Amino acid sequence: MSTEKSLEILKSALLLELRGKAFYTKAADSADDPEVKEFFVKLADDETSHIQMLSDQYRSFKAEGTFTTFEQDVHDESVATAVLSDKLKKRIAGAGFESAAISAAMGMEERAVNLYSQRAAETSDPEEKALYDWLAKWETQHLESLAKIEREVTETIWNDNNFWPF
């Protein structure tokens, strides 16, 4: 494992998480509906915890050349629970920006999953592998939640506009 490669991946991961936090914060600020706002705030909060974890790992690796053992807490199911809310889906379907934000967020989450999964597969360091496996699972949960919302929002819009080709 090269030190430069590990530091490069950590910096890329931090940048992804910082961008995600900024995006979700902006989406929350732009949302008029309190439930939609709360959904984006929860996503931003997750990104904040990832930023802290990655920053700690970066400092440790830069100073000592090792990844530290970290607390692999159970993923918060609040985002997934929010996805199940029909009220939330209807509110997002009725709002153009929030609907577009879901689609854009999926791209960001997919990039994070790919980066973390690839690095977990490449590294021989067990702590680094654990970190990226854990992050990949967390971001996959976000991606799946967002994809579910997007599918249902699309169907709602199509149903409301009688836009079925059959």
Q: For 101-128, write each residue's pLDDT tens digit.
A: 888 899 999 999 999 999 999 999 999 9
Q: For 44-66, write each residue's pLDDT tens digit.
A: 999 999 999 999 999 999 999 99
Q: Which CATH class is domain 3-157?
A: mainly alpha
Q: Rounded mean pLDDT of the chain?
A: 83
Quick check: 121 and 134 in contact, CB under 8 A? no
Query: Per-domain residue ranges for the chain?
Result: 3-157
- Both structure tokens of 90: 């209807």
Whole-number Cα distances in Å, 72 to 53, 69, 104, 143, 162: 10, 9, 28, 19, 46
Among 73-77, 127-131, 139-143, name the one with the lowest average pLDDT. Answer: 73-77
| pLDDT score of 76 | 54
Taking residues 59-75, report their average pLDDT: 81
pLDDT band of 154, cuts 50, 70, 90: confident
Please enumerate, as own/partner, the contacts of 30-34 that have beta carbons within 8 Å and a separation of 24 or more.
Answer: 30/97, 30/98, 30/101, 31/95, 31/97, 31/98, 32/95, 33/91, 33/95, 33/98
